[in-house]
Amino acid sequence: MNIQSRLRAVAAAILAVILYGSIGYYVIFNGEQKFLDCMYMTVISITSVGYGEVIPVTGRPGPEIYTMLIIIFGLGVITYGISTLTALIVEGQVSGILRKRSMEKKIEKMHGHIIVCGGGQTGRYVVTELVKNRECAVLVEKDQGQIDNVLSEVDVPYIQGDATEDENLLLAGIERAAGIVISLPSDKDTLYVTMTARMLAPTIRIISRMTNSRLEPKLRKAGANGVVSPNSIGALRMASEMLRPTAVTFLDKMLRSTTQTLRIHEIHISAQSQLAGKPLYQSKLRERFGVMVLGLEPKGTDKMVFNPPADYILEPGTILVVMGEMDKIAEARKHS
């Protein structure tokens, strides 16, 4: 039984004893005593306060026996309640509730964050990478062991619960989130959460994990913007290790470096940007921020221009693909 259920059970038991005792006194005295006096007599009896009797009990066998029963059952319930509260404090569950409520308030203030459903082998690395990229993330995971594994690497707010339940997605702030990564062990659960996420947040970006490649069309129709298969990625990685080991080593060192956080990222050129309408060489991204432009995607197209020329005009809506330290990239994005 969880803490809320245990506390509700104790409160219900105390209320039941009080009502039972009050009604019993009222019936025993044939309604001659006020119901409030009957309730007062019950409360002072079960709490052993020791105040004087407000209704005539002493010298009358029936009321005396009834009062003794009320005291025995009432003290038993109160003792159980005190022991339960003591156990909860000792076990740290009260402090856990306070931490949970504090975390929920923190999540309520978040906007534009990314939700990660599932903290297993895949989800753990997703959360870690998001945090390293200075993104706000919220983990939804029902297994406390998996949550602890994630927290051992990064400090991230989380919702302990089943991602297939709408309530937990709402607690994670899906209506205010920019994206959601669904990395659950079951493809069926992934499909269900994908559909639910699209219904709850029509504009959110959804990336879904799959193990069965035949599920991709269904995930797309359910609302996924992107579908990723760890098996196929693993196969490509193994082939790359065989064919181009130096290039793979370069990427590994870039991603796993402990001295600096080098990443390939995006910079969006807005209409208000200082770079809008200017040639690429005038951006001086490399000189000012140490950021290297690898390619770009022109506005309104899905084509990629690799190693763009220096005189390429940066129209509003252009997306630059750059490489550099995350702190530098973040600074460059502020000026774009």
Q: Model confidence over 115-154: pLDDT tens digits?
A: 999 999 899 999 999 998 889 999 999 999 999 999 999 9
Asked whether residue 4 carries a pLDDT value surpassing 70, the answer given is no
Q: State mean pLDDT over 199-226.
A: 94
DSSP per-residue letters across 132-198: HTT--EEEEES-HHHHHHHHTT----EEES-TTSHHHHHHTTTTT-SEEEE--S-HHHHHHHHHHHH
Q: Which residues touch 131 (CB under 8 Å, ≥6 apart)?
A: 137, 154, 155, 156
Rg (CA), the chain: 32
What was the pLDDT predicted at 3? 64
**What is the maximal distance between C-alpha atoms in the chain?**
107
What was the pLDDT predicted at 80? 82
Question: What's 307's DSSP letter?
Answer: S
Q: Which two tokens stand for residue 304?
A: 């990629």
Q: Which two tokens stand for residue 17?
A: 């004893």
Which domains, from first to last, does the chain contain? 3-91 (1.10.287.70), 110-234 (3.40.50.720), 257-334 (3.30.70.1450)
Confidence of residue 90 (pLDDT cuts 50, 70, 90): low
pTM of the model: 0.63
Confidence of residue 299 (pLDDT cuts 50, 70, 90): confident
Confidence of residue 187 (pLDDT cuts 50, 70, 90): very high
Question: What's 310's DSSP letter?
Answer: T
